[in-house]
């Protein structure tokens, strides 16, 4: 992280030294804030929630079955053969639960990456539109600190909400 910041500062200093005689217009965009607050990012999150809701409910159902079966086993009021049968069923349920949970997490991560790639593309397009329209020389998306006067995050959020 420190290396990235040092490289970023070095790059900015090189660019600034090259344009020492000309005035540069620099902007900053808080990418994390845009990913939290922008319309496209919020809509993508809701789409993912809706898409995976049925699988989450199914996972909760299996977890509830496992808890109920464990409670029945804890009561210790059944015959030995019945108990062994229920223990095998509990092991199978646990394996099913773990498999379903792993598959859900893998699928959710893959879809989240797809959605975020689309959102990131829209964000970059909005930043380019603002840079072109307002004649910015440099717009940074990552900085250790920036002054509020160069922060154009609100402009980007507004442009994204208009779409």
In the block, which residue shows the tokens 């990552």?
A: 142
Give tens-digit pLDDT for 101-133.
999 999 999 999 999 999 999 999 999 999 999
Q: Would you state the structure tokens that stand for residue 89, as one six-digit string?
A: 């069923």
Go through 32-49 and write b for each residue having 16 or more CB atoms within 10 A of its CB, e for each that does not: eebbeebebbeebbeebe
Q: Domain 18-162 adopts which CATH fold?
A: Protein Binding, DinI Protein; Chain A (3.30.910)
Give tens-digit pLDDT for 28-82.
999 999 999 999 999 999 999 999 999 999 999 999 999 999 998 888 778 888 8
101: nearest Cα among 109, 91, 112: 109
All structural domains of the chain with their residue ranges: 18-162
26 three-class SS = strand
């Amino acid at each position: 992280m420190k290396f990235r910041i040092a490289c970023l500062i070095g790059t900015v200093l090189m660019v600034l030294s090259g344009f020492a005689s000309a005035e540069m217009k620099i902007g900053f965009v808080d990418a994390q804030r845009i990913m939290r607050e922008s319309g496209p990012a919020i809509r993508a999150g809701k789409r993912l929630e809706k898409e995976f809701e049925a699988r989450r409910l199914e996972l909760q159902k299996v977890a509830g079955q496992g808890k109920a079966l464990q409670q029945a086993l804890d009561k210790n009021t059944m015959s030995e053969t019945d108990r062994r049968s229920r223990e095998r069923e509990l092991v199978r349920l646990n394996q099913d639960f773990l498999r379903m949970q792993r598959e859900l997490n893998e699928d959710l991560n893959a879809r989240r990456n797809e959605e975020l790639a689309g959102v990131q593309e829209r964000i970059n397009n909005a930043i380019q539109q603002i840079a072109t329209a307002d004649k910015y020389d440099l717009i940074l998306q990552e900085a250790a600190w920036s002054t509020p006067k160069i922060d154009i995050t609100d402009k980007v959020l507004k442009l994204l909400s208009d779409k």
